[in-house]
Structure 1
Amino acid sequence: MNITAFATFIIVTFLVALISWVKTRRHKITTSAGLFLANRKLSFTAVGTALFFTNISAAEFVGNSESVYLNNMTVMAWGISSVFAMLIVSEFVIPVYLKGAMSTTPDFLENRYDSQTKKLVSIVFLIGYMVNLLPIVLYTGAVALNGLFHFSDIWDISYGASIWILVWCIGLIGSLYSILGGLKAIVISDLVLGVCMFSGALLLAYFGLKYVGNGDLQNGIHTILSSKTEHLNSIGTAGDAIPFSTIFTGMILMNLFYWGTEQVIVQQALASSNLEASQKGIALACAGKLLGPLLFILPGIIAVHMYQSMENTTEVFSRVVSEVSPPVLSGFIAAVIFGAAITSFSPGLNSASTLFILNLYKPFKEKEGIPVTEKNLLKTSKRFEMFASLLAMFIAPLFLFSSDSFYTFMQKINAAFSIPIFTIMFVGFVTKKVPPIAAKIGLAFCLTGYILTQMVFDTGIHFLHVLAILFVLTSVIMLIIGKLYPMERAYVAQNKPVVDLKPWKYRHWVNGLLLLIMILLFLLFSPLYLSAAR
C-alpha cells in the first residue's frame, strides 16, 4: 500500500464528513419529515447533485469500466438514454407526486388503487433494496477499494475474505451516516463529492491518456482514437451486451421506472422546495449523466490499451487508477469511490426506512388503535435501518459467485423488481377505471413471467426485449380486467400541494438542448465517426 495514497484517502474522507457535520449540526431531526424529506427545503443544486450522486455508486465505476474492457461502449446507453426518461418524469410525473403531497411513490398506488396495492408494492420494493440494491452498492465499493489499496495482499488473506471485511466497513459507516444525519447529511455530502468526482475524473483522464501515450497527452489521445476503435462503438449489435434496439424496448421502461418510481431516487426530488427547483435539479442531474463517457467509460478504454488480458475484470477501474495516477490522486479517487458507496448506501437505507415506516409500520399501528408519536417513528426507523444494513452486509459478498458481466448481472436482477411495479404504475397513470384487482394480478403475472423466462426457460431473447413483451402483455391483461370489471367511480388525482407547483419557465429549451446532446453522443461514438474502421 502506498502511504501517500492512503493518507490522502483518509484526509479527504474526513474532510467530507467534517463539512457534512458542520452544515447539519444545527439541523436537529425531530420529525419523520426531517429524517426522510429534509423538511422539503432542498434547492435545485441540492436536488440535482443528490439525484446524480445517489444514482452513482461504485457499481458505475466498476461495472462500466469492466463492460467497456470486455465488450465496447454499448453499456453507456444505460446512462445516456436515461436523460430522455428523466425529462419525461420531470414534466409529467413529479408534478403529480408534489400535487398530491406524496412522501413515497407507493402513495400514488394507494390513491389510484387501494391500500393493499400500496402495501404489496412497498414489500416488493423493500425486498429489492435489501437483496439487490444495498448489497450491490456494498460489494462494488469493496471491490474498488481492494483493487486500489490491495488489502488482500497487505492483510495476507484471500480476495473473498478482504471483500467481506470491506463490505462490513462500508456498511457500518453508511448506516451511521443515514441513522445519525438523515437525508440532509446525505445531500450535503453529495454536493461536496460531486465537485470531487468531476475533478478526479478530469485528472484521471489526463494521467491515463498520458500513460497510454508514453508520457505525451496528445499521443495518448491519438492512440485511443486510432487503434482498437471497435471498443469506441456505442451502437450495439445482437451479439453485444447491449443491442441498440433494446434502448427502445426494455431499457426505456427500466429507466422510466428508475427515475420516476424508484423510491431512493424520487425521494430526492420530493424533498425539493418547489416544482421549479425539482425540474431544475433533474436537468442538472441530466447534464451529469451526459458526462458519463468521461467519468465511467474512459477508464475502461484506457484499460483496453494497457492490458491484453485480466484474471479479475471487475478490478479494471481500480487497476487503471492505481497504475496511471500519482499517489495523491489515487487516494483522492479512492475517497470519492468510498463516498459514492456511502452516499448510495445511505439513501437506500433511508428510502427503505421511509417505505417501511410510512407504508407498513405506521398504518399497522394505527389500524390496531395504538398511538404513534414522532419519537416512536424515529426510533423504529433507526432500528429498521440497522436490520436492513446487516442483512445487506451478509448478502453482498455472495455476488463474488456471479458469472455474468457484473453490470449486466446487476441490471437483470433490477429488472425483476422494476418492471412489474412500473407496469401497474403506468396503467394507473393513463387510465381512470382499472380496478385494484387488476394491479394485483398484473404484478403477480409480470414478476412470475420474468422469473420463468430468466431462470426456467431459455427464450433466446435478450432480457430487455423480454421485459418489453411482459410490459405489453401485463398492460393488456390489466386493461381487459378494467373493461370487464371497471371501478364504480373514476380515479380523481389528489390536489393538496405542500409546495409551489409553478413549473420552470425555461425547461423546454434546456430539455431540448439536453436531448440534442444525447443524440450527438450516440453519433459520436458510432461507426459513423469515432469507432469507424481505420
Structure 2
Amino acid sequence: MNTIEAIDLVVIAGYLLGIVGVGLYSVRKRKQTSEGYFLAGKSLSWAVIGASLFASNISTVHLVGLAESGFTDGIVWGNFEWFSGIELIILAFVFIPFYLRTKITTLPQFLEKRYDSRSRVVLAIFSILAALFMHIGVSLYAGAVVFENVFGLSILVSILIVALATGVYTIVGGLTSVVITEAVQTVILIAGSITITVLALYRLPEMGIGSYEELKAAVDPDRFRVVGFDSAEKGFTFTDMLFGHLVLGIWYWCTDQTIVQRVLGARSEKQAKLGALFAGFLKILPVFIMVVPGILAFALFREQIGEDTKSVLPVLISNLMPVGLKGLMVAALLAAVMSSVAAAINSCSTLIVYDVFDKLKPNLTDGRKIFIGRLTGLIVLVSAVIWSPFLGNLGTLFELINQMFSIFAPSIVAVFLLGILSSRGTANASFYTLLVGSLFAASVFVVEKYLTVGGIPHYLSSTDGLGINWLQQTSLFFLFAVLLYAVISYFDQQEQVIFPGFYLKVRNSSRLVNWLTALLVLTLLVLYWTFY
C-alpha cells in the first residue's frame, strides 16, 4: 500500500484541517490568562480529563507495537495497558489530593513545597529532557515510520506535516486547545481501531475459523493467556512485568508533567479523580482493539508478514481497509502522534515558564508568561523535528524508550511517594536520591547497552551473565532509591521545613468515586480470571 487514493487524501486532509480548526476555535475570542493558557483556567471536567489522559498516552508506538506484540506473543503485553488502571487509581487517591490542595502549576513546584528548590531544579531538568527527547521526538519518529511503511512517504516529510499541524493549535491555544482536540482524537483513535478489529473478525471465516475455540486453535491458545509468558523465551516473567511496570507506571501516570497537567487543570478534586478513573476504564480497550488485531493478523496474514513483524499494522490496513476507511485509519494514526506531541509541547512550555523564568523574574505579567510559553513551545518543537530522524540509529524503539525511562523513573517515584506518605523524608534525601539514584541507573544502562563484561555483551541481562532483565533492573533501582532516601533521612539532622498545611486531613471521596473505583478493580479481576 504505497499509494494514496483521492478519497483517503480527502479524509486525511479533512482530519488535519478539522483538528487544527477545533483547537483554534476552542480559544476563540477569549482573553487568555496564564492560568487559562497553561491549566485551561482550572475548568476541565472528568470526561475531558479522562479522554485527554488516554489520548496523550496512546501514541503510534502503542498502535504499531501492540499490534506487533499481539502477532508475536499474544495478549500478554496487554498487561502494560491493564496495569495502568491500578496506577490511575493510585493517582486518584494518593496524588491528586496533594496536587490540587497545594495549588501547584508544575510537579517540580510540588517538590519545592515538600522539600526545597534543589529538588525542583533537578526534576524540572529531567521533565524537560523527557518531554523533548522522548515524548515528542519518539512520537514524531514512530509516526513517520508508520507513514513510510504505509504510503512510502519519507520520514522527514511526515515529521514536518505532523509537527506543523500540531504546533499551530498547541502553541496558540495552550492546554485548552490540547485537551479539547485530544477528546476528539480519542474518539477517532477508538473508532479506527474498532473498525480494523471488526474487519479482521469478518475475514476469519475465509480461513475456516468460525468460533473462538477455532481461533485459539489456529493461533495457539497461549496467545489468549494474559499471564502465559514464556520467561525462558522472552526473558520476562509475569512478576517482572507487575513490579517493573508498577514503578514505571506510577512515574508516568502520577509524576510526569506531560500527563498530570490535565489533572492540575481540573475544576475540582472530584472531577480530577473521576477523570483518572475514566482513563482507567479506557485503558482496558487497547488489548481488544490494538493487541487482538495483531493476533488476528497471525491467523490471516502469517505468510505475508513473515519475519517483518513491524509491518503487522500496515499489512492489516492494506488488506482490510477499503478506500475511504484507509483514510480513517491514517487519521487515527495521526491522532495518536498529534495528541502525544501536543501534550509534551504544552507541558514543556509550562515547565520552562514556571520553573525557570518565574523563578528568575517572579513578577512576570500574564501576557509575558504566555509569550514565553508560546516561544518555548516553538523552540522545543523545532528541536524535536531536527533530532527525531536520528532515532532510526538507536535500535528497537519500544524497548529503548522504556529503558531510558527506567533511568530516572525509580528515583522520582521514591521521592514523590515517600514524600507524600511520610513527613520524615528530608530535603537532602530528596535531592541526593534524585541525583545519585539516576546517575547509578544511567551507569548501569551504559554498562548494559554498550560495554562487554568478561567477553559477554549485555552482561547484566544476558543468561550467560547476571540474568537480570531491564524490568527487574527497574525494580532494583527503585529499591536502591528507597534505601538511599531512608538512610540519608535517618542520618540527616537538618530541620525539616515543609509547606504549611502540606499534610492535610484525608477527605472521604464521593460515593460515586468509590463505586467506580470498585467497579474498575472488579472489571480488571474478571478480565484476568477470563484470560488467565
Normalising by the residue count of structure 2, what TM-score does the alignment of the two structures yield? 0.90
Stretch deviating more after TM superposition (451-460 or 246-255): 451-460
2:485 is aligned to 478
Q: Give the superposition deviation at 1:492.
A: 5.1
Q: Give the superposition deviation at 1:311.
A: 5.7
Query: CA–CA distance in 2 between the matches of 1:310 and 1:410?
Result: 25
SS in 2 for 1:321: helix
Q: Does 1:192 align with 2:184?
A: yes
2:417 is aligned to 426
1:7 is aligned to 10
Q: 1:339 to 1:220 in 2, by over 3 A?
A: farther
Query: Residue deviations 1:158-179, cap 9 Å, x none?
Result: xxxx112211221222222211
Q: Does 1:281 align with 2:283?
A: no
Q: What is the aligned counterpart of 2:147 among 145, 148, 162?
A: 145
Query: CA–CA distance in 1 between the matches of 2:136 and 2:502?
Result: 34
Stretch deviating more after TM superposition (220-229 or 502-511): 220-229
- Mapped contact 1:433–1:488 kept (Cα < 8 A): no
2:381 is aligned to 389
- Mapped contact 2:119–2:434 kept (Cα < 8 A): no
Alignment of 1:114-513 (within 5 A): 114-151=116-153, 162-214=154-206, 219=210, 223-229=214-220, 230-235=222-227, 236-238=229-231, 239-240=233-234, 242-305=236-299, 306-308=301-303, 309-310=305-306, 312-366=308-362, 371-404=363-396, 406-457=397-448, 458-459=459-460, 460-489=467-496, 491=498, 494=501, 503-513=509-519
- Mapped contact 2:407–2:438 kept (Cα < 8 A): yes
Letter in 2 for 1:289: K
Query: CA–CA distance in 2 between the matches of 1:242 and 1:260?
Result: 25
Letter in 1 for 2:302: Y
Query: CA–CA distance in 1 between the matches of 2:270 and 2:315?
Result: 42
Query: CA–CA distance in 1 between the matches of 2:307 and 2:164?
Result: 30
- Mapped contact 2:71–2:294 kept (Cα < 8 A): yes
Q: 1:173 to 1:220 in 2, by over 3 A?
A: farther
Q: Give the superposition deviation at 1:250.
A: 1.7
Q: 1:441 to 1:19 in 2, by over 3 A?
A: closer
Provide the aligned C-alpha RMSD in A.
2.3
Letter in 2 for 1:364: L
SS in 2 for 1:24: coil
- Mapped contact 2:11–2:328 kept (Cα < 8 A): yes
Stretch deviating more after TM superposition (324-333 or 448-457): 448-457
SS in 1 for 2:141: helix
- Mapped contact 2:407–2:445 kept (Cα < 8 A): no
SS in 1 for 2:283: helix
- Mapped contact 2:427–2:496 kept (Cα < 8 A): no
Letter in 2 for 1:287: F
Stretch deviating more after TM superposition (441-450 or 18-27): 18-27
- Mapped contact 2:428–2:492 kept (Cα < 8 A): no
Q: 1:142 to 1:513 in 2, by over 3 A?
A: same
Which consecutive unaligned segments of at least 5 residues does structure 2 have? 449-458, 461-466
Q: What is the aligned counterpart of 1:17 among 17, 20, 26?
A: 20
2:49 is aligned to 47
1:109 is aligned to 111
Q: Give the superposition deviation at 1:448.
A: 2.0
Q: Give the superposition deviation at 1:205.
A: 1.2
Query: Residue deviations 1:146-198, cap 9 Å, x none?
Result: 333332xxxxxxxxxx1122112212222222111211111111222222222
Q: Give the superposition deviation at 1:494.
A: 3.8
Letter in 1 for 2:40: A
Q: 1:524 to 1:453 in 2, by over 3 A?
A: farther
Letter in 2 for 1:203: T
Q: 1:443 to 1:489 in 2, by over 3 A?
A: closer
Q: 1:175 to 1:242 in 2, by over 3 A?
A: farther
Letter in 2 for 1:8: V
1:154 is aligned to none
Query: CA–CA distance in 1 between the matches of 2:212 and 2:12?
Result: 29
Query: CA–CA distance in 1 between the matches of 2:310 and 2:31?
Result: 41
Q: Give the superposition deviation at 1:361.
A: 1.6
SS in 1 for 2:206: coil
Query: CA–CA distance in 1 between the matches of 2:67 and 2:139?
Result: 16
Which consecutive unaligned segments of at least 5 residues does structure 1 have? 152-161, 527-534
Q: Give the superposition deviation at 1:508.
A: 1.9
Query: CA–CA distance in 1 between the matches of 2:234 and 2:418?
Result: 32
Query: CA–CA distance in 2 between the matches of 1:143 and 1:43?
Result: 35
SS in 2 for 1:219: coil
SS in 2 for 1:506: helix
1:521 is aligned to 527
Alignment of 1:72-87 (within 5 A): 72-87=74-89
Stretch deviating more after TM superposition (314-323 or 381-390): 314-323
Query: CA–CA distance in 1 between the matches of 2:257 and 2:434?
Result: 17
Normalising by the residue count of structure 1, what TM-score does the alignment of the two structures yield? 0.89
Q: 1:173 to 1:15 in 2, by over 3 A?
A: closer
Stretch deviating more after TM superposition (410-419 or 220-229): 220-229
